Amino acid sequence: MTLDSLHLLFFKNYDEANLTFSPGINCFIGDNGSGKTNLLDAIHYLALTKSAFTATDAQSIKQDGEFFVVKGRFSSPQPSLPPRTETIQVSLRQGQKKILTHDKQPYERMADHIGRYPAVLISPYDTDLIRQGSEDRRKYFDSLQAQLDHDFLELLISYSGLLRQRNATLKQSGAASHGFDHDYLLALDEQLVPLGQQLHELRAVFLADFLPLFQRHYQQLADKQEQVTLAYKSQLTNQDFGALLRVNERRDQLLQRTHAGPHRDDFVFLMDGRSVRNYASQGQQKSFAIALKLAQFEILAVRRGRKPLLLLDDIFDRLDSKRIARLLELVADDTFGQVFLTDTNLARTDQALARVQTDIRRFQVRAGVVAPV
């Protein structure tokens, strides 16, 4: 699967852009603040229906603009037929709902799109996953699992919906004079418990499959032979979810939220048995984060049967020559498919890619205007 072209209207700092891509490597070169990462983010929208960076879609509308449009044409090879082309468009008008279309047909649910056009972004913010709280890690692994398995995504949506209902019930009953509707809570829990148990099991199974891929990529990237691991930390590992809800019932009522369940799970990152956040060096943390992304690429490629688009933001700036060389080996040996990368320096990019055989296209980005070099 390749992204053949991209069309933008009033997206972030772009009024309009029309780009035609190489199926190999596409380089966006420009000064700081020119709009390179915004182009990667537009591609991220096509893959995952949302920005990789901004919290709300409205922030992606150009300042003082009314709407944005991001449109991409994808093509995929078909045995003994011409390549199949498909057009994906994401658009948002100020104050309205985001619209996603596939060949002009609107999707009823964004969720139906997730995973069909996989993309993996390697960005300077990746180490946030190590430093931030458990919610970020849960979101990261949930998003990855959702791209791999539509049933997991449906389960996650159902669980989150019920949990919201449960928390709303706890809040209402706190405010209401008649007190607490215990029967209603029990009825909700009866639905919540099997979904939560299932979510727990799917996360555990996923992590067991993902871990060896991650460990192999880390060993290939890092200098030393330190042992890294990802541990799944969940209250449900050795306790029954239903029993946990009952034990916490009093506290849940008092504090008006649900204290136990897979929404409290964490994924713990360890190096030689110690916390990566507290003990690993900056370089080791970078390798850790990149190894996560490379393992993500591999598992998506294998399970979805199509290589994800690879978005490399500022890699030459941030990584030492050894890690860059390792990444470029993967580019050269055809592990990756289509690649989009950003850099501030054309000469440095050309030098780094000098020995890569793949077709390369370069684009110059200047203050929201982008043109092939």
Ligand X SMILES: Nc1ncnc2c1ncn2[C@@H]1O[C@H](COP(=O)(O)OP(=O)(O)OP(=O)(O)O)[C@@H](O)[C@H]1O
- CA-to-CA distance for 361 and 340, rounded, in angstroms? 10
Output 67 or 180, the one with its CB closest to ligand X: 67
Site stretch for Mg ion (CB under 5 A), options 32-40, 135-143, 281-289, 361-369: 32-40
Any contact of residue 13 with ligand X (CB under 6 A)? yes
Token reading at 324: 């860059």
**What length is written for the chain?**
373
Any contact of residue 34 with ligand X (CB under 6 A)? yes
- Interface residue with ligand X among 35, 196, 261, 337 (CB under 6 A) is 35
Per-position DSSP letters for 28-88, written without gaps between them: EEE-TTSSHHHHHHHHHHHHHSS-SS-SSGGGGBPTT-SEEEEEEEEEEEETTEEEEEEEE
Any contact of residue 349 with Mg ion (CB under 5 A)? no
Site for ligand X in 308-327 (CB under 6 A): 314
Site for ligand X in 344-363 (CB under 6 A): 344
- Partner whose binding site includes residue 35, from Mg ion, ligand X, none (CB under 5 to 8 Å by kind): ligand X
Site stretch for ligand X (CB under 6 A), options 32-40, 44-52, 136-144, 234-242: 32-40
- Partner whose binding site includes residue 351, from Mg ion, ligand X, none (CB under 5 to 8 Å by kind): none
Any contact of residue 34 with Mg ion (CB under 5 A)? no
Determine how many CB atoms are found less than 10 A away from the CB of residue 96.
Answer: 9
- Partner whose binding site includes residue 63, from ligand X, Mg ion, none (CB under 5 to 8 Å by kind): ligand X
- Interface residue with ligand X among 3, 25, 26, 30 (CB under 6 A) is 30
Any contact of residue 38 with ligand X (CB under 6 A)? yes
- Interface residue with Mg ion among 22, 37, 89, 127 (CB under 5 A) is 37
Determine how many CB atoms are found less than 10 A away from the CB of residue 244.
Answer: 19
Output 247 or 369, the one with its CB closest to ligand X: 369
Residue 6's SS3 state is strand
Number of residues that bind ligand X (CB under 6 A): 18
Which amino acid is it at 7?
A: H
Output 234 or 342, the one with its CB closest to Mg ion: 342
Per-position DSSP letters for 216-285, written without gaps between them: HHHHHH-SS---EEEEEE-TTSSS-HHHHHHHTHHHHHHHTS--SSGGG-EEEEEETTEEHHHHS-HHHH
With CA atoms as reference, report the closest residue to 121 among 39, 189, 194: 39
For 142, 145, 265, 342, the CA distances from 214, given in Å and listed in that order, are: 16, 15, 20, 25
Q: How far is the CB of 53 from ligand X (least distance, A)?
A: 8
Any contact of residue 338 with Mg ion (CB under 5 A)? no
Determine how many CB atoms are found less than 10 A away from the CB of residue 314.
Answer: 18
Site string for ligand X, 251-290 (x = CB under 6 A): ----------------------------------------
Q: How far is the CB of 370 from ligand X (least distance, A)?
A: 10
Element (H, E) at 291: helix 282-304
- Partner whose binding site includes residue 59, from Mg ion, ligand X, none (CB under 5 to 8 Å by kind): ligand X
Site stretch for Mg ion (CB under 5 A), options 31-39, 80-88, 215-223, 365-373: 31-39
Q: Are the C-beta atoms of 358 and 42 separated by less than 8 Å? A: no
With CA atoms as reference, report the closest residue to 57 among 74, 44, 73, 72: 44
Site string for ligand X, 55-74 (x = CB under 6 A): ----xxxxx-----------
Output 37 or 285, the one with its CB closest to Mg ion: 37
Output 25 or 42, the one with its CB closest to ligand X: 42
- CA-to-CA distance for 158 and 191, rounded, in angstroms? 10
Any contact of residue 258 with Mg ion (CB under 5 A)? no
Q: How far is the CB of 222 from ligand X (least distance, A)?
A: 26
- CA-to-CA distance for 315 and 317, rounded, in angstroms? 5
**Sites of contact with ligand X (CB under 6 A):** 12-13, 30, 32-38, 59-63, 314, 342, 344
By CB under 5 A, name the binding residues for Mg ion.
Answer: 37
